[in-house]
Structure 1
Amino acid sequence: MAIEKKTFKKEERLCSKKLIASLYDNSSSFLLYPYRVVWKENSLSHQEFPAQILISAPKRRFKRSVDRNLIKRRIKETFRNNKQQLLYPFLKNHNKNILLAINYVGKEILDYKIMEEKMKGVFMMLQKQIAG
């Protein structure tokens, strides 16, 4: 069995302004504190990665950029460590490509372990919503 590297490549990041606009226009969302997750099925051709992700932390609540960057780094790390086991196999089995935005809505900076548990919960809720 080949060991898959836990990476977070450029192709997995949601950068296209058109795709971001379409994601926020007509999409599904749910709240799992401290995350607000907005997702939409991507109708474009099949890509190497089944999910493209956008991560944000609010400037209104966290004035210092070091705090926002810490939050975004922790979210990226939890996503990177858990996507291969919990999210990608499900999406590949269902032949789905999704656009995903994870917005941090917490009032304080949480510990990494808590954020990781919540990210696993996000993946489970996504699977329930995608499966219908």
Structure 2
Amino acid sequence: MLKEFREFAMKGNVVDLAVGVIIGAAFGGIVTSLVGDIIMPIIGAVTGGLDFSNYFIPLSKAVSATNLADAKKQGAVLAYGSFLTLTINFIIVAFVLFLVIRAMNTLKRKEEAAPAAPPKPSAEVELLTEIRDLLKK
């Protein structure tokens, strides 16, 4: 059973998947920073200081805080601002992946369109071709 597990774990697809997950997690951190540190402040500046992260609806009367962190400590809240931020984050990730896949498909089409050079004949084939040509004369 251990041998079978080792064979399964070392298959190319499993290793490729593991690498993809690790790179995806790192990419997620980059996109989160892009959204939180660059895009959302720009949106806030354009909309007059609008900050989505603190938008919430209190679900109990005990919640009287004005920011989301304190409101969550006081009771249940509907944090739709966080949801908007994560939705924008998802749209950016999906768009970047679309661009990457589109670029890969373009490169693949260029490779397929380029005619492959005929393989160079071996030394034996060249020698036999020369002998044939000499015999024809």
Normalising to structure 1: TM-score of the pair? Answer: 0.26
RCO (CA 8 Å, sep 6+): is it higher in 1 or 2?
1
Normalising to structure 2: TM-score of the pair? Answer: 0.25
The structure in which a higher percent of residues are helix is: 2
The structure in which a higher percent of residues are strand is: 1
